Structure 1
Amino acid sequence: MPSIHRLSDLLVNQIAAGEVVDRPASVLKEVLENAVDAGSRAIEVQLEQGGVRRIRVSDDGCGIQQDELALALERHATSKIASLDDLERVGTMGFRGEALAAISAVARTTITSRAEGAGHAWRIDGDSGELTPAALNQGTVVEVADLYYNTPARRKFLKSEGTEYAHCDEMFRRVALARPDVGLQLSHNGRVVHRLPPGEPIRRVGTLMGDDFLEHAREVRAEGSILSLGGFASLPAYSRSSRDAQYFFVNGRYVRDKLLTHAVRQAYTDILHGSRHPAYVLFLELDPAGVDVNVHPAKIEVRFRDSRAVHQFVFHAVSRALAESGAGRALDEPLYAETSVPAQSVQPAAHSTAQTPSPYGRPPESAWNRPPVQGQLAMDSASRAYFDFAASARPAPAGAGADAPRPSSAPVAPPPLPSGDNGAPLGYALAQLHGVYILAQNANGLILVDMHAAHERILYEKLKTVLDGTPAVQRLLIPAVFSVSAKDMAAADECADVLSRMGFEIAPAGPQELAVRSVPALLANAPVAELLRKLLEELREFPASDVVTARRNELLATMACHGAVRANRHLTLPEMNALLRDMEATERADQCNHGRPTWTQLTMSDLDRFFMRGQ
Structure 2
Amino acid sequence: GKSNFRRRIVDLFGKNINHSLVPVEEKTSMVNISGYVGQPKYAKKTMGEQFFFVNKRYMRHPYFHKAVMQAYEKLLPSDAFPSYFLFLELDPAGIDINVHPTKTEIKFENEVAIWQFVHAAVRTSLGKHNVVPSIDFDQNGSIDIPVKSKNKDEVRYPEIKINPDYNPFDSEKTPSVKIPKASGWAKSNLSRWEDLYQGKQLILKPEKAPSPGKEPDVFSQPRESFSQKRVLQLKQKYILSPVKSGLMVIDQKRAHERILFEKFMEVLHSESVASQQQLFPQTIELEPGDAELLKNILDDLLSLGFDIREFGKNTFIINGTPGMLDVSSPEIIIQKLLEEYKNSPVDAKARAKEQVAISLAKASALDYGTELKQVEIDHLIDNLFACKTPNFSPEGKKVLTIISLEDFEKIFNK
Q: Tell me if TM exceeds 0.5.
A: no
From the CA coordinates, give the structure whose radius of gyration is larger: 1
TM-score, normalised on structure 2? 0.42
TM-score, normalised on structure 1? 0.30
Higher relative CO (CA 8 A, sep ≥ 6), structure 1 or 2? Answer: 2
